[in-house]
């Protein structure tokens, strides 16, 4: 059985990980409400698929409104800032290079309750 390494993550790094996860989730949910193209684009219809009759296609896209584009840009800026905080945190210098991937994966799950 592989040896489990315990990492003592600083609270600010744990908080940044949670903020990154929550922001990414909010962005993904918001993106589902947007038109399929950021710019106005005509729709299209593909060829009928052999044996299934399925025909792919998209309706015309009105493009993003100014408010939608601004909100997307805000989400992207937040995600970039949080990603930089996560990747450049001084904690990583204290972790052996060979264990950094394990530490990063452990941090992604540090907010979950410990198994009994």
Residue 26 lies in a domain: yes
Residues spanned by the domain of 105:
9-32+65-111
Residue 21 lies in a domain: yes
pLDDT in tens, 30-75: 999 999 999 999 998 888 877 887 888 889 999 999 999 999 999 9
Question: For residue 108, what are the contacts with CB-CB under 8 A and spacing of at least 6?
Answer: 17, 21
Place of tokens 């390494």: 5
What's the domain count of the chain? 1
State the Cα angle at 88 between 93 and 5, rounded to 5°. 45
Residue 3 lies in a domain: no
Spatial separation of the C-alpha atoms in residues 42 and 82, rounded to whole Å: 36
Full-model pTM: 0.82
Residue 116 lies in a domain: no
Residue 96 lies in a domain: yes
How confident is residue 2, by pLDDT bands cut at 50, 70 and 90? low
């Amino acid at each position: 059985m592989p040896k489990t390494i315990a990492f003592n993550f600083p609270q600010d790094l744990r908080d940044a990980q949670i903020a990154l996860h929550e922001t990414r989730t909010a962005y993904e949910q918001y993106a589902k409400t947007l038109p399929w193209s950021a710019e106005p684009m005509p729709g299209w219809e593909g060829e009928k698929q052999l044996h299934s009759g399925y025909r792919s296609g998209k309706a015309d896209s009105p493009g993003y409104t100014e408010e939608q584009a601004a909100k997307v840009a805000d989400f992207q800026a937040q995600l970039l800032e949080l990603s930089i905080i996560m990747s450049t945190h001084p904690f990583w210098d204290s972790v052996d290079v060979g264990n950094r991937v394990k530490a990063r994966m452990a941090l992604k799950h540090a907010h979950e309750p410990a198994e009994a």
